[in-house]
Amino acid sequence: MTMPIPPQVTPTHVELESAMSTAQPSLPSRWRQFNALTKPRVIQLIVFCALIGMVLAVPGVPGWLHLKQALVACVGIWLVAGAAAAFNCLVEKKIDATMKRTSWRPTAKGELSDREALVFSALLCSAGSVLLYFWVNPLTMWLTFATFIGYAVVYTVILKPLTPQNIVIGGASGAMPPVLGWAAMTGEVGPEALILFLIIFLWTPPHFWALALYRVEDYRKSGLPMLPVTHGNEFTRLQVLLYTFILAAACMLPFIYRMSGWFYLVVALALSVGFCGYAWALWRNYSDALARKTFRFSLIHLSLLFAALLIDHYLVAP
């Protein structure tokens, strides 16, 4: 007895096209995947802070040559910062896959291979470095490259999985943008740039720990030794409060050093009171909703603080 041979099914043209489109994402989709690796929202804040450093470094209203240099420097810093973010996504792809906040990233979902992410990061870093070295100045290039190493290697590879103080030490890389901007316009790092560095350096821990508080289970699952995981909720809330007090004092330095005027002082005082108020409320009576509000206000705090520096600079400009 012979078994009947089932008829061969030939895939239709539509089915073939569907299979091909599934296997090979379209160019717009591919572009979105690579763009996501650069963490666009984070990059926007980085470039904005760098731009403030550039503007404050130039007395009065900048001329065309200053604007041209600032534009080139912003592009170069954006490229290298994007490279660092892409490398971070590559190194942390397994950790990202376990966390709700980051599981959508292309490297975590396997949409981009390790080789694609690494080549993309290398290309961005190379292009940005060349741009900064030849069209801005060597100091800015080396400082930006050092920031890349600090974030992509020292923080991501070494500090983050090793110590709960990772964000404090690694925060130095995140505080560099205004220093890069200042160096781009002057070819040196002045005390004003270091004041701006200090403000962001002190802002980073309470900003990030507020996020870590309401995302603690994600970090616990990932195995990263973030402060709420290693030292608990109450200790972390106290650290947030203490850092906001120190940050409030640092925010007064631009006025004390006379690099800003009364407009900045009023805005800085209001923002500092607001941030300290959120930190105090968080310390006294914790909730995930309040931690989320504190995190969001920290973003508003830094953005408006630097915007106030910018506006004040032109209010007192000759």
Q: Which amino acid belongs to residue 151? A: Y
Q: Which amino acid belongs to residue 156? A: T
Q: How sure is the predictor about 17, in pLDDT bands with cuts at 50, 70 and 90?
A: very low
- Confidence (pLDDT) at 316: 67
pLDDT in tens, 81-117: 999 999 999 999 988 888 888 888 899 888 889 999 9
Where would I find the H helices in 4-39?
A: 13-23, 27-37
- 202: its two tokens: 């002190």
- Cα separation, 247 vs 219, in Å, equals 26
pLDDT in tens, 164-195: 988 888 889 999 999 999 999 999 999 999 99
Q: How sure is the predictor about 20, in pLDDT bands with cuts at 50, 70 and 90?
A: very low
- Cα separation, 25 vs 252, in Å, equals 51
- Confidence (pLDDT) at 100: 82
- Confidence (pLDDT) at 260: 93
- Cα separation, 234 vs 240, in Å, equals 10
**Residue 188: which region, alpha, beta or left (left: phi > 0; alpha: psi -120 to 50)?**
beta
Q: What is the CA angle 248-250-251, rounded to 5?
A: 65
**pTM to 2 decimal places:** 0.87
The end-to-end CA distance of the chain, in Å, is 102
- Confidence (pLDDT) at 26: 66
pLDDT > 70: percent of the chain: 90
- Confidence (pLDDT) at 25: 60
Which residue is it, tokens 């900064």? 132
Is the pLDDT at 303 greater than 50, yes or no? yes
Which of 83-97, 124-138, 280-294 has the weakest average pLDDT? 83-97
Which residue is it, tokens 């973003």? 299
Q: What is the CA angle 235-236-237, rounded to 5?
A: 90
For the chain, the C-alpha Rg in angstroms (whole number) is: 23
Q: Which residue has the higher pLDDT, 10 or 290?
A: 290
Averaged pLDDT, 61-83: 94
